[in-house]
Amino acid sequence: MSRENFDKLGEECGVFGIYDFDGNDVASTIYYGLFALQHRGQESCGIAVSDTNGPKRNVTSQKGMGLCNEVFTPDSLQALKGDIGVGHVRYSTAGESVPENAQPLVLNYVKGTLGLAHNGNLINAIELREELEKTGAIFQTTIDSEVIAYHIARERVNTSSIEKAVARAMQKIKGAYSLIVMSPRKLIGARDPYGFKPLCIGKRDNAYVLASESCALDTIGAEFIRDVNPGEIVTITKDGIQSDCDLCIPKEKTARCIFEYIYFARPDSEIDGVGVYHSRIQAGRYLAQDSPVEADLVVGVPESGNAAALGYSLESGIPYGTAFVKNGYVGRTFIKPGQSSRESSVQIKLNVLKEAVKGKRVIMIDDSIVRGTTSDRIVKMLRDAGATEVHVRISSPPFLWPCYFGTDIPEREQLIAYNRSINEICEVIGADSLGYLGEERLSQMVQGLPICKGCFTGEYPMKPPTRDIRGNFER
Ligand code: SF4
């Protein structure tokens, strides 16, 4: 299901990398890893592979617009030969959904060829790009990932290893990034010091894997080893995994994007020791404690509202049920960015189970309301199906501020909660009552993990840029 069509936020990307020490081809494994990460980006995808025993410039890659199963075929995967590789799924922010910006980026430089996949946004990408352009760099894409790749390539010339070059580049780039870098003989994973975006390590037989989420490890039958720590660089070679934590900051200063737990990540993933499903159940429980209401049925707006709805039900004792049937076969034809298609697509994608809600007082749980363009329709659909009351509960606080770290939160003026009270929002969406998760509940739902909650509070873990960079790096 398209997030755009559902008044949902978009994640920037998902990354996946693998190094098979037995020399097996890895392209099809990357494909299935990306398939498991498809929820993190549906606009483009790509795979780049290399043979660690071959010449140092033997990277082959394929990228394209669309979902993994639209871009790759068995034959095209077969043509990607190599025992080390990196893959990427991309969700772009406004505009610039073009093939050139698909990843992984493949860069030839003096020491060989680099493949790079990136999830996140840099807050100083524009400055860094301008600096590089002044010294003659010519960019092929409009994404800030290329700025990172350039910096790594440049630093590599003056350092003794690729991991040191990554470390030096990380001293320059600021913002949110989970990176996978493929060099001719090494696979490197790195996470920004705040740990905004997830990245974990797995192992299958004699192959090491890096992935945005642990669900991708499960899909390919790899065992979860551990998360890459915020600020850590892991280097995977035939000698095993080496870790560099020079850029790590005290744990209490780290700041994972809380929206991974609320909405982005798949419920079967675990990030930094906290299960996504568990955190959503907890959010539902807190909602039941903090915003109780008498009702006959608790339902979730699929998919990410479901776990929170179950939590609400478990805590309140009100039965949990299914109210929505989703049409999972609506293809990309309907995925068009823009307000009008967003507004028209709800009924195409969701149907209400009339017999489940007829004559009932319903509590409807959703993970967030961004602009509010679909909430009123879903509430109306429940009423039209015979619900006598519709009480809306949201498993996150109201969005009030922009995000500079890779989430496409729209302008403040477009946010439904901007300049509106809860009662006013309730009126706009046509619900009988409305309750949001309290901001103080966010760290409780992830068992006290340090988090970023800037889009709710306006307080960011790092100083936001003085000019609004959102989207600019893509122009
Ligand atoms: S501002 Fe919000 S969406 Fe952006 S990283 Fe922080 S918690 Fe995530």
DSSP letter for each residue of 9-77 = ----EEEEEEEETT----HHHHHHHHHHTGGG--SEEEEEEE-TTS-TT--EEEEEES-HHHH--HHHH
d(CA 237, CA 215): 24
What pLDDT does residue 132 have?
83
CB of 263 shorter than 6 A to ligand 1: no
Look at residue 5 and tell me whether its pLDDT is greater than 50.
no
Band of pLDDT at residue 162, cut at 50, 70 and 90:
very high
Look at residue 94 and tell me whether its pLDDT is greater than 70.
no
Q: Give the closest residue (by CA) to ligand 1 atom 2.
A: 455
Residue 248 is labelled as binding a ligand = no
Residue 412, CA distances (Å) to 179, 291, 350, 403, 419 in order:
29, 26, 28, 10, 9
Q: Give the closest residue (by CA) to ligand 1 atom 5.
A: 257
What pLDDT does residue 23 have?
96
Angle at 409 between CA 370 and CA 313, to 5 degrees: 40
Tell me if 217 sits within 8 A of 200, measured CB to CB: yes
pLDDT, one tens digit per residue, over 431-450 is 999 999 999 999 999 999 99
Tallying the residues shown for the chain, one arrives at: 475
The half-sphere exposure of 310 on its side-chain side, counting CA atoms within 13 A, is 11
Look at residue 95 and tell me whether its pLDDT is greater than 90.
no
Selection from 11, 19, 74, 89 nearest residue 49 by Cα: 19
d(CA 148, CA 122): 9
What pLDDT does residue 270 have?
98
Residue 162 one-letter amino acid: I
Residue 366 is labelled as binding a ligand = yes
Beta partners for 208?
Answer: 19, 203
The Å distance, Cα 38 to ligand 1 centre, comes to: 20
Strands 389-394 and 433-436: parallel
Residue 450 tokens read as 């340090």
Structural domains in the chain, CATH included, are: 4-253 (3.60.20.10), 270-474 (3.40.50.2020)
User: Which of 256, 403, 453 should be mutated for ligand 1, with most atoms under 8 A from CB?
Assistant: 403
Q: What average pLDDT does this structure show over 174-193?
A: 96
Least confident of 80-84, 108-112, 308-312, 450-454: 108-112
Of all atoms in ligand 1, which is nearest to the CA of residue 406?
4
**Percent of the chain whose predicted confidence (pLDDT) is above 90:** 73
Look at residue 339 and tell me whether its pLDDT is greater than 50.
no
Band of pLDDT at residue 473, cut at 50, 70 and 90:
very low
The Å distance, Cα 345 to ligand 1 centre, comes to: 27
Q: What average pLDDT does this structure show over 156-169?
A: 94
**Percent of the chain whose predicted confidence (pLDDT) is above 70:** 90
Q: Is 68 a catalytic residue?
A: no
What pLDDT does residue 311 have?
98
Band of pLDDT at residue 470, cut at 50, 70 and 90:
low
Higher-confidence residue of 134 and 177: namely: 177
Residue 397 tokens read as 């606080």
What pLDDT does residue 205 have?
96
Q: What average pLDDT does this structure show over 260-284?
A: 97
Residue 452 is labelled as binding a ligand = yes
Q: Give the closest residue (by CA) to ligand 1 atom 8.
A: 257
Band of pLDDT at residue 328, cut at 50, 70 and 90:
low
pLDDT, one tens digit per residue, over 354-378 is 999 999 999 999 999 999 888 999 9
What pLDDT does residue 329 have?
62
Strands 233-237 and 451-452: unpaired
Residue 68 is labelled as binding a ligand = no
Does the predicted TM-score (pTM) go above 0.75?
yes
Band of pLDDT at residue 406, cut at 50, 70 and 90:
confident
